[in-house]
Chain A
Amino acid sequence: MSHHSLRILIADDSDTDRLILQALVKRLGHEVIEATDGLDAVQKFREDNPDIVLLDALMPRMDGMEAARHIKALAGERLVPVIFLTSLSDAEDLARCLEAGGDDFLTKPYSRVIIEAKIKAFDRMRRMHDTLSRQHEQISERNRQLLEEQTVARRVFDNVAHTGCLDSPNIRYHASPLSVFNGDVLFASPRPAGGMLIFLGDFTGHGLPAAIGAMPVAEIFYGMVRKGFSSADVLREINQKLKLILPTGMFCCGAMVEVDFKAGQLRVWNGGLPEAWVIRSDGDLVLLPSRHLPLGILPPEQFESVAETVQVSPGDRLLVMTDGVLEVANEQGALFGLAGVRRCLEQLQPPRHPFDAVMAAVRQFSDKAAETDDLTLVSLDITDQPAVPEVSEQVLPSALAGPTEWRCEYEIRERTLGDFSPLPLLLHICLEVPGLRTRGGEIYTLLSELYNNALEHGILQLPSEWKRSAEGFGRYYSERQARLARVDGHFIRFRLHHTRKPGGGRLRVVCEDSGAGFDFQNHPLASGEAGADSSSRYAGRGLLLLKRLSKNITFRGKGNHVEIVYDWNFSAHQGDGDDRQTTP
């Protein structure tokens, strides 16, 4: 049986009683501090910090009860048992003692057995209280650490994710200002050949587990979009990555929006997020519900990247949100829900912006900030866009590091024509040249126009005028799918050659395809005449673009062999084209 030696304060104005008690307590192995009245007791308590206090109730100068109040106040968070010494007859006084803060009482005559038992019991209580206090402090400290870790995770994440082009004038968004990561991600990036890609994701869980999943997704998104990959490719890669790294049962609900300003189109993939909305300039609403499983669940071979296509024109708007919006609850416990969103959008009066309307409606529904802040809502305004926006390059290229004298040939044949786009790879090769790194947009556009013409017009022989209407578009793409199944014996071959020139360099791109070709000698644009005849095989705009971006363009053979020369200089930002119009 362990014995703890305690320091015990005994306060009694009767010398006799005090003598007896201090002898009893010392016999039990404890240290005794003596006081002769209330004031003395409080003073001794302050100086000597006893573990337990024995107080006579009636004392001169300050009676026991007042002394008890002072002592309890001085003890603060610490539990210091206060035991009153009293005669059995004072029943009412006993009650008052306990009300004054006393924990128990000892009656006269003092019994050694009882004193021992009470001291032991209160010592146990005191130590238990101490342990609890210490554990409480440990928990508080641990909590503080966890919060700090999560804040750091958030900062790391923000560095990886950055805002991309979220600060474009036609994008508005509300993301949770909570410093602790809440599982929602929002990325936006322009595409090298124009347009942009927006991804909104909602990871299961909160805090670090959600943040860990989000970081590779940010890298994949920004890395791939910059290189010109399509939204389907990016989705597939994200799904595969998440399937690999997330434990079973964790996933990411998400929506990917590919914005094609040129064609006036949105391609939306929604896997697990609430409905996205297109609000037309005339007030019509188009619903884009979730049609896919969230990301990170299906293995690559079962993943479907099929998106819904919506024609849009300037003045139309898109709204995408996480379920935080629908789950805002009011005081009665009712949820804002899809009905709330629909009501808000149906009652929308121009020129009110749907983003403002939904945010206001949500805040009106619930005035609790905790509810209305933990959500993500993003809107996109469809506008007219310039042809080739530059993809901003944050790394300053060194003119001397990287290959400048090289050539390569890359050919894809038959089945690969439908399954794989060589553009990101070819772009990557070109961007190894330091001088070309700030010109990724133009290079990509060149390669992409050559490739698309070779594939869609050369080999598949799809007329471009089909793309000009909404129904035609659908027909175009389904025919494209069908014809891609019948490309036996076909190929597209790229030959790239780069060399240094005084003050810069020259990239030569040759693109050949196995298609029927076209009569380039009599094509108004190909033969150098002005004016575009849009019924011809090459969409007028495409050829014009190639002419504008390159130094010169040559057609050979049946018209299925195109050579492009692209010159660049150290000083200027653009390459040298013949008909250069200044584009910022």
Chain B
Amino acid sequence: MTGRQHLDEEALAELQDVMEDEFDVLIHTYIVDSRDRIASLKAALAAVEADTFARTAHSLKGSSINIGAPRLGELCLEAEEAGKAPDLGEASRLVGAIEHEFATVSGLLERLLVR
């Protein structure tokens, strides 16, 4: 499948249905969690800790897939593989892409909360 979406509308709708009144808490948790993880990625990169980098990318990947952010998830997968290689150049490039994508995703998610 080409051109992954920022947000999978269908998956989100299901999540809303499942979580009911806890949906807001979930979104909030995800956003806070992910910000922490991205900070960790940067720190790991700076400290040249490839293992930590890969694991953190792996976690962010999982939660992003679950929340319904496929493109973000894909980027995290690539980052994880870069960390495993290890290819720090690629890793560095991907952290930037991840930050950028996350900004988009979190913006879209927050708009859901307001509604």
Contacts and interface: CB of A to CB of B under 8 A. Distances in A.
A89 interface: yes
A299 interface: no
B97 interface: no
A23 B19 contact: yes
Interface string B1-39: 000000000010011001110100110011001000000
B92 interface: no
A27 B29 contact: no
Given A15-B29, A20-B19, A58 B66 contact: no
A360 interface: no
Contacts, number: 55
Best-surrounded residue of A15, A16, A56, A58 (most CB of chain B within 10 A): A16
Interface string A86-111: 01010000000000000000001110
Contacts of A19: 19, 22, 25-26, 29
B30 A16 contact: yes
B29 A108 contact: no
A56 B61 CA distance: 13
A469 interface: no
A27 B15 CA distance: 12
Interface residues of B, number: 23
B63 interface: yes
Contacts of B42: none
Contacts of B15: 20
Nearest to A13: B59
B28 to A, nearest CB: 10
B65 interface: yes
Given A89-B77, A108-B65, A15 B33 contact: yes
A94 to B, nearest CB: 14
B65 A14 contact: no
B22 A14 contact: no
B18 A108 contact: no
Interface in B39-98: 55, 58-59, 61-63, 65-68, 77
Contacts of A13: 59
Interface string A460-471: 000000000000
A27 B67 contact: no
B62 A14 contact: yes
Given A16-B30, A109-B68, A23 B63 contact: no
A109 B18 contact: no
Contacts of B59: 13-14, 58
Nearest to A107: B65
Nearest to A15: B29
A109 B22 contact: no
A16 B26 contact: yes
B62 to A, nearest CB: 5
A23 B22 contact: yes
A108 B22 contact: no
Given A23-B18, A23-B22, A27-B18, A16 B66 contact: yes
B62 A17 contact: yes
Nearest to B19: A23
B61 A87 contact: yes
A112 interface: yes
A149 B66 CA distance: 63
Interface of B: 11, 14-15, 18-20, 22, 25-26, 29-30, 33, 55, 58-59, 61-63, 65-68, 77
- Give 7 nearest A-B pairs by CB, closest first: A16-B63, A16-B30, A108-B65, A14-B63, A109-B66, A15-B29, A23-B19
11 contacts: A14-B63, A15-B33, A16-B26, A17-B66, A20-B66, A23-B20, A23-B22, A87-B61, A87-B65, A89-B77, A110-B66
Given A15-B29, A16-B63, A58-B58, 16 more contacts: A16-B26, A17-B62, A17-B63, A17-B66, A19-B19, A19-B26, A20-B26, A24-B18, A56-B62, A87-B61, A87-B62, A89-B77, A108-B65, A108-B66, A109-B66, A112-B18
